[in-house]
Structure 1
Amino acid sequence: MDLGLKDRVAIVTGSARGIGAETARFLAAEGMAVVITDLDGEACAATARDIEARGGRAIGVACDVRREEPVRQMVAAGHEAFGRIDVLVNNAGLVKDRTLLKMDESDWDLVMDVTLKGAFHCARAVLPHMHARGWGRIVNISSRALFGNPGQSNYSTAKAGIIGFTRALSLEQARKGVTVNAIAPGFIETEYIKSLPNFDTILENVKAKNQVPFAGQPGDIAGAVAFMASEHARYITGTTLFVTGGRYG
């Protein structure tokens, strides 16, 4: 199925590794040019080189999405390299897990700033480019954790906030040709997760709770993002697609 993404340009935040990198590879395989952006500039460059080695087009740009000016510079670099910005995937995020009484203010602020302020800065920077063409897609990565996880009051709050941000922004942007949707992944078997010493226990727990009796893969999220970025999703905005193996709570 042709997703209608060929020759469009995407920015994927937090894409040096993991779900973000797999999403960037998937979009590049669909014919998009991709801006790989993350804090680690060397890792961004490595992921961009990997995409180019596969026949795609990509650049790597180090960026701290918590700060407005670096985001503007990153978007400008993408526009200079490829001439347009069509799709933004707000994937950047992190966990700083602690129960609330053990959580420092810095743990709270870091998760909020990367997840929510990062999405705010990036959306503000790309929207003028999308308005100029009358077409755009913003896909925000939330999480099943929005329903609440013990030890993740910061992360769960941030990911729930992404849903509110998505709904509000979709109402502002629909008549300008820009759709705004969210993806809420469940348990995804990334390299980082697989490196945890208790991975086998975690995996068995997930299999017991999922309706689908296996863990998700990064490609499952990448495919969902590509659909939401495509022409086939033109009549969808303000919604959240749960990619969770049937698990919600």
Structure 2
Amino acid sequence: MSTEENWETPVSDPLASAQAPWLEGKVALVAGGGLSGPLGGVGFALAWLYARNGAAIAVVDRDEAAAARTVEAIRSAGGQAEAFLADLTDPDSTTAAIDAAHEHFGRLDVVADSVGGTGVQPIFEATEDQWDLAMDLNLKSVWYVLRAAQKHMTRGGAMVTISSGAAEGRGPGMPYSIAKSALEKLSVGAAGTLADRGIRVNCVRVGMIWGAFAARGMTEEQREFRRQNVAMQTEGNNWDIAAAAFFLTTDQSRWITGQVLSVDGGGNKPQNTGSAGGTRPPKAN
């Protein structure tokens, strides 16, 4: 064998030997990270996964009791967490909470924003107040968080936002779906803006999961019908979304930015409508 073929095994890259915990010594800020009900939400799931992987958690939420539940759960499991109360639809309140989190922990490495909801009225029936609330909650609040947090982040930091499959749907328009479409553009734009600072931004587009948001407005019959229309014929949950968002904010995804990742079980179930240009199946007798 020639000496040119006596290579060392090429495993020197950090990704080749990375082991959990993936966020040891880092600080993760989760907007909307409170535990507000027995089903939990994506924000709580993210806070939990970050804490389980070694990060200290800044839980930013307007619900003091929900934020306290998350902090207590993480501390009871041996992690570090602090609550920072804020109305994330208010820029001054948002900035004050994020600045306080940075001052408390001394750094911000990961930012996850899971805030959203409301605005499910038909676009021509929604009132101006309903429209504005949908934009404030699903778009502007995320802009406030990213804008306030990025100034505290250094190279290697990562952000993730949470969108919805409604953003790409071609059904009747809702303020919610329009705001989520804009949120995806905001996320991609933020990635391009922050790329030269080594800060990554990605977005997770949520499919038909079962969680507190869905449970508020759906019967069990509707839930089952929806499950049957997922390509994988299974129902996702908060942890499926959080796991994807978690990955996008670790060094394991260090070369991924400006992406919108659909986590949706394959999307809508394909229907057998034949093949255009193909041969018709024979008719049954």
User: TM-score per shorter chain, which class?
Assistant: over 0.9
2:21–2:54 contact (8 Å) kept in structure 1: no
SS in 2 for 1:129: coil
Which residue matches 1:223? 243
Displacement after TM superposition at 1:33 (Å): 1.0
Residue 40 of structure 1 is aligned with which of 63, 66, 87? 63
Is residue 168 of structure 2 the alignment partner of residue 147 of structure 1? yes
1:2-52 C-alpha deviation (Å, 9 max, x unpaired)? 363112111111121311111111111111111112221121112111111
Displacement after TM superposition at 1:192 (Å): 4.7
More helix by share: 1
Displacement after TM superposition at 1:234 (Å): 0.6
1:45–1:61 contact (8 Å) kept in structure 2: no
What is the letter of the counterpart of residue 241 of structure 1?
A: L
Distance (whole Å) between structure 2 residues aligned to residue 145 and residue 125 of structure 1: 27
2:24–2:55 contact (8 Å) kept in structure 1: yes
The 3 A distance-change label for structure 1 pair 214 and 125 is same
Residue 241 of structure 1 is aligned with which of 257, 261, 277? 261
Which stretch has the larger CA shift, 35-44 or 177-186?
Answer: 35-44
Higher-Rg structure is 2
Which residue matches 1:168? 189
SS in 2 for 1:10: strand
Is residue 205 of structure 2 the alignment partner of residue 184 of structure 1? yes
Is residue 77 of structure 2 the alignment partner of residue 59 of structure 1? no
Higher RCO (CA-CA < 8 Å; seq separation 6+): 1
Alignment of 1:73-88 (within 5 A): 73-88=96-111
Which stretch has the larger CA shift, 23-32 or 75-84?
Answer: 75-84
Displacement after TM superposition at 1:56 (Å): 1.2
1:3–1:231 contact (8 Å) kept in structure 2: no
Distance (whole Å) between structure 2 residues aligned to residue 201 and residue 149 of structure 1: 24
Displacement after TM superposition at 1:180 (Å): 0.7
What is the letter of the counterpart of residue 38 of structure 1?
A: D
Distance (whole Å) between structure 2 residues aligned to residue 156 and residue 103 of structure 1: 13
Which residue matches 1:22? 45
Distance (whole Å) between structure 2 residues aligned to residue 160 and residue 95 of structure 1: 15
Cα RMSD between the aligned structures?
1.8
SS in 2 for 1:34: strand
Which residue matches 2:141? 118
- Gaps in structure 1 of 5+ consecutive residues: none
Residue 178 of structure 2 is aligned with which of 157, 172, 177? 157
Is residue 121 of structure 2 the alignment partner of residue 103 of structure 1? no
Distance (whole Å) between structure 2 residues aligned to residue 161 and residue 115 of structure 1: 9
SS in 2 for 1:109: helix
Residue 94 of structure 1 is aligned with which of 117, 132, 139? 117
1:65–1:71 contact (8 Å) kept in structure 2: yes
1:193-237 C-alpha deviation (Å, 9 max, x unpaired)? 3455x4312221222211111111111111111100000111001
Displacement after TM superposition at 1:135 (Å): 2.4
SS in 2 for 1:7: coil
- Structure 1 stretches of 4+ with a deviation exceeding 6 A read none
Which residue matches 1:8? 26
- Aligned residue pairs total 246
TM-score (norm 2): 0.81
The 3 A distance-change label for structure 1 pair 192 and 166 is closer
1:139–1:182 contact (8 Å) kept in structure 2: yes
1:98–1:151 contact (8 Å) kept in structure 2: no
Is residue 231 of structure 2 the alignment partner of residue 211 of structure 1? yes
Distance (whole Å) between structure 1 residues aligned to residue 123 and residue 265 of structure 2: 28
1:32-79 C-alpha deviation (Å, 9 max, x unpaired)? 111112221121112111111111111112211111211111112211
